[in-house]
Amino acid sequence: MSTKNNEKIAEIGARIRLFRKGKNLTLVQFADLIGISHGSLSSLENNRSKPAAETLSNLCLYTDIDIEWLLTGESKERGSERKSETFFSQLQDWGKEMAGSENIDWMKRQIEAQFPAFKKWKEAKEESERGEDIFPSSKVA
């Protein structure tokens, strides 16, 4: 293994910590999520140990971590693709938190007011689900 690869592997712990903190998870919460003890996670984050294959697998299965970024510090996903993925993930999380409250109706009204195209799309989808013909035929009976 080259020195360059050793340096990248040595930084895995820092990237795990960066990812965990970016998700606002405690050591215990994140360790539980990926199926290891919080002591083991602490050892990984402080580069006292390296992740086992099972831990790497669990990171991929139970989180949205980019495994290429975790292993190398680099990612194939670039710019706007990653930004939009993050934005929509955050929007979805926020919506889930708000869904149980009276704010859901307010959110729907705001979205429809700000995005008329969404309102038209939603209405067409609802008509389609009811079985209404949203595109009437030009055939004459």
User: What's the whole-model pTM score?
Assistant: 0.51
Q: Which class is 3-72 in CATH?
A: mainly alpha
Residues in the chain: 141
Element housing 5 (H / E): helix 3-10
Q: Are 87 and 79 in contact (CB under 8 A)?
A: no
Give the domain ranges of the chain: 3-72, 79-129
How many Å separate Cα 66 from the centre of its chain? 10
Per-residue pLDDT of the chain (141 residues), as tens digits, is 444 556 666 688 999 999 899 889 999 999 999 999 999 999 999 989 988 888 988 888 888 888 888 888 887 655 545 566 777 777 777 777 766 666 667 777 777 787 778 778 888 888 888 775 544 444 444
pLDDT at residue number 1: 45
Vertex 85: Cα angle to 79 and 91 (nearest 5) = 130
Looking up tokens 């013909």 gives 133
